Amino acid sequence: MSDANIIRLHHVNINVTDLEKARHFYVEGLGMIETEADENNIYLRGLDDGNHHCLVLTKAERPSLNHIAYRVASDEDLDKLEKLFIEEGLPFRWLEKGEERGQGRAIRMQDPQGFPVEFFCEMDWAEPLIQKYYLHRGARVKRIDHANCLVRDIDLAYRWYMEKMGFMCSEYTVAGENGEYLWAAWLHRKPTVHDLALIRDAGPRYHHTGFWIDDAKTILDACDHLASIGYYANIERAPGRHGTSNAFFVYVRDPDGHRTELYTGDYFTNDPDWKPIRWHLNDPQRATFWGTLPPKSWREEAMPVQHIITGQLMEIRKPVGIKK
């Protein structure tokens, strides 16, 4: 295991086909704060954020995941991660300070499931706007919470993040008559339910980014706001509560189809005697504790992911080890 100290999921970079349409959705619709922009990128943050960005929109020919990024505690942790990536034979590359606007040097790798994952320590400060209430609008996004990834081999992915990267498990789902194989896992570094959700499916594909919202009423208000400015059809999965994570949620999609979960109501996981919660795939209250069942699009559609070296989209392949 690497002894690098990973703090939390810090930001996600998605590729979009129309920057202006994406800006309108995330800024006017979700109420995110635009820190900076250039010809090809828009850097956004939440109201709680004291850093340059938690979401980057990058202009591209096809929508996809550009990369997921975690913050580490020190610059030395990046060198520790490089050593691990070399030992594991994983593709990686270094980014110089400023190559990603507002960010210090970083290392970006392709994880064993094919996801582009970045690690960095330093980022430019930005003023938190938590008490600038006159700037709170739309969904009033506070901060990024988690990334949800569809992986071909969840057993390998689970072992990698737990044994090599030092993640911890808060909840997991099993399947099979006797619960003999793993279906999904919620992993964390920060002391909440998850920074990363791993779901067994065709992959690598990116399902959604979760953003923290203050409370359930704010999520309902966000739905009213989105509908009132023309995004009624972008509300994909109606508000409800998950069994896993206990979160109150709504899922919305941007003009390119990138999925966002507006999320609140999970719990603390950092006690030393915490025991992961086990769910069975057949439990009817696992994914939906209450609320309408997810639509077909939510169950089947997700974004391809980008290769860190070539920029090409990774091949999507069927999951391994499924027992029908």
**What type of residue sits at position 118?**
E
The reported pLDDT for the residue numbered 179 is: 77
| Mean pLDDT computed over 230-236 | 98
Place of tokens 């719990």: 267
Percent of the chain with pLDDT over 90: 97
Same fold, 6-120 and 136-304: yes
- pLDDT tens by residue, 65-80: 999 999 999 999 999 9
DSSP-derived 3-state class of residue 55: strand
Question: What residue segments make up the domains of the chain, in order of their start?
Answer: 6-120, 136-304
The CATH number given to 136-304 is: 3.10.180.10
Cβ distance 38 to 224 under 8 Å?
no
- The stretches of the chain forming alpha helices (DSSP H) are 19-23, 75-88, 154-159, 216-228, 296-300
Determine contact, residues 112/160, Cβ cutoff 8 Å: yes
> CB–CB of 321/153 below 8 Å?
yes
- Residues sharing a CB contact under 8 Å with residue 17, sequence separation 6 or more, in sequence order: 59, 60, 61, 62, 63, 256
Greatest Cα-to-Cα distance within the chain, rounded to the nearest angstrom: 54
For residues 42 and 283, the answer to whether their CB atoms sit within 8 Å is no
Interval 190-206: pLDDT, tens: 999 999 999 999 999 99
What amino acid occupies position 147? Answer: A
Fold of the CATH domain 6-120:
2,3-Dihydroxybiphenyl 1,2-Dioxygenase; domain 1 (3.10.180)
* Confidence tier at 322 by pLDDT (50, 70, 90): low
Half-sphere exposure of 183 (CA within 13 A, CB side): 19
Convert the pLDDT of each residue in 250-260 to its tens digit. Answer: 999 999 999 99
Name 200's bridge partners: 151
Mean per-residue pLDDT for 25-34? Answer: 98
pLDDT digits (tens, 9 = 90+) for 132-181: 999 999 999 999 999 999 999 999 999 999 999 999 999 999 999 887 89
pLDDT at 323: 46
Asked if the model's pLDDT at residue 324 lies above 50, the reply is no
Question: Half-sphere exposure of 279 toward its Cβ, with a 13 Å CA cutoff?
Answer: 23
